[in-house]
Structure 1
Amino acid sequence: MSAKTRTTTGNAVTVIGLGPMGRALAAAFLKAGVATTVWNRTPGRDRELAAAGAVAATSPEEAVAANELIVVCVVDYDATDAILRRPEVTAALKGRTVVNLSADVPARAREAGEWAAEHGVRYLDGAIMVPTTVVGTPDGVFLYSGPAELYAEHKPVLDALDGGHTHLGEDIGRAAAFDIALLDIWWTSMTGYMHALAIARAEGISGRELAPFAQGIGKILPPSFDEAAIALDDGTHTAVINPMTSSASTMAHIIHASEAHGIDASIMRAVEGVTRRAIGLGHGDDDISRVAELLGRRA
């Protein structure tokens, strides 16, 4: 059946964008018994999904017209705009709901929400906080922001993706803001770990030897996350274990050991720099949580 011959309501969805994550989303919908229409700019990526029961649309306007709910998952909002803002697609979208799971910054999400409102498109922004292999399992994590009633209306279909689904509020940009903040944790943490592996190797320690002890460090982080969050929210930065003067000293040791082996220490130098700036402002006896407050100040 051609997608253009039907407009389905209820347990149905259109997925636009069939990169690795888009294919994972469509496959999860199909597995859950949701009637699924798919479209991708690059031909051929829909073959396996079509074989599994998806309807392969031949154009984005045909894909949009097929269902009331359209889930978009492409590389960024430039790609989203290039698809959805084509006049024929925009016209087909009127009165329908777009859930944009593409990644970008909060300002772009809010601008997209404004565009949607101007063109009669119902709009939710969202973020997927797990890799493709976890989509469609109980461990999936999906975040949404936008009109609460719109989220409630489409929640039964979105829940077919399994995992946890959280509506973060009416502000369209909140899902993207959570996404950016959480990815910041991931990438800075993993970069720190890569640096640690480089130091360990230079000292004759294999990655396999270090990994179990690294996991032990990882177990310390969750309570530290809670403590720092409370300290920042409440404006109390009393050092419970290490004041920043002590922290800066250990950072200097890492820098010295790194550079002795010719290892780039610019990341730790940046961390030490902002820590010493906080100390210079009279916060040497405070907890490292004070740095978050300092980073948030505008000159």
Structure 2
Amino acid sequence: MTDNAPVSAPLTLLGTGAMGTALARAWLAAGHPVTVWNRTPARAEALAAEGATVARTAAEAVAANRLVVACLLDDASVGEALEEAVLSGRDLVNLTTGTPAQARARAAWAGARGARYLDGGIMAVPPMIGDPDSGGYVFYSGSAQAFEEHRDTLAVPAGTRYAGKDPGFAALHDVALLSAMYGMFAGITHAFALIRREDIAPEEFAPLLTDWLTAMAPAAHQTAAHLASGDYTQGVVSTLAMQVAGTATLLRTAEEQGVSPQLLTPFLELMRRRLAAGHGDEDTTGVVDLLATR
């Protein structure tokens, strides 16, 4: 009896740190033959016990399969690992965290060596990998043909979102979202600092905070609409003039509570600058233009 079940596509994974190991395990669990390499061989031993083939060198790992995924420390590590590898005819998917400029340079570098290139921005932490209900996904940008060809394989560890042909767009989307996250963390930190020394239970305050942030998050859609139309006054309810007038209370309260305003003052100062330039009937969208100086 012949087994006609389709064989899952083989691939190579360079880097078996926390994220690389999670990726490898997801592919192995789905039946994909995986060849792995790590600069420290001992870190790949657990994956060998789970069915992965461990290559002695990165060049050997690259030679094993057409699809090569890199998940290393940084961009320099990618260049060092692949220095002796033959990339001609390979599809290099770089999931190493980097900048848009590094992604574009690495794409040109890979192209000169005969490889198609995809850059990736992982919007997940290792425990989310391989769990289809976790909400984790990966941005990809670069070769549209390579993405379409390997889409099913790439979708095994986490969802896929193609960000465009510009190799730098995956990293740009990644960093833009992370930057927004840290802005949110700054607000959360300041809010908890304000109540820290009062008889207010943090665990009781937290649901109020998350509900408020959830209610405010759709403001991103209005900002996007303003930027697209160029009209920063359309549909504005709380004008910049009103908001700036209210910031004095924020700062005074921080002073009364003995809390540094350093997480708030940079943004508040930009709001004041925009107001001083005569844009009091807008909302805060104009601050984007103050930040985007080029």
TM-score, normalising length from structure 1? 0.90
Pair 1:83–1:262, CA change in 2 (3 A): farther
Aligned to 2:4: none
Which residue in the other structure is 1:177 paired with? 172
- The superposition leaves residues 192-219 of structure 1 with CA deviations (integer Å, 9 ceiling, x where unpaired) of 2112111111333232121010111122
1:69 equivalent to 2:67? Answer yes
RMSD: 1.7
Q: Which residue of 87, 110, 116 corresponds with 2:110?
A: 116
**Any idea what the Cα deviations from partners look like across 1:143-179, whole Å, max 9, x if unmatched?**
1111211111111211222x42121211111111111
Matches within 5 A, 1:1-299: 11-84=9-82, 86=83, 88-89=84-85, 92-138=86-132, 139-161=135-157, 163-238=158-233, 240-298=236-294
Identity %: 38
Q: Report SS of the residue matched to 2:181.
A: helix
**How far, CA to CA, are the matches of 1:251 and 1:19 in structure 2?**
45
Instruction: State the shift of 1:80 in Å.
Output: 1.6
Q: Is there any run of 5+ residues in structure 2 with no aligned partner, and where? A: 1-6
Amino acid at match of 1:284: G
TM-score (norm 2): 0.91
For the 8 Å contact 2:8–2:33, the answer to whether it is kept is no
Letter in 2 for 1:82: E
Q: Which has the higher helix share?
A: 1
Quickly say closer, same or farther: Cα 1:165–1:34, change in 2 above 3 A: same
Cα shift at 1:10: 6.4
Question: Structure 1 regions of 5+ residues with no counterpart?
Answer: 1-8
Is residue 87–residue 110 contact of structure 2 (8 Å, CA) maintained in 1?
no
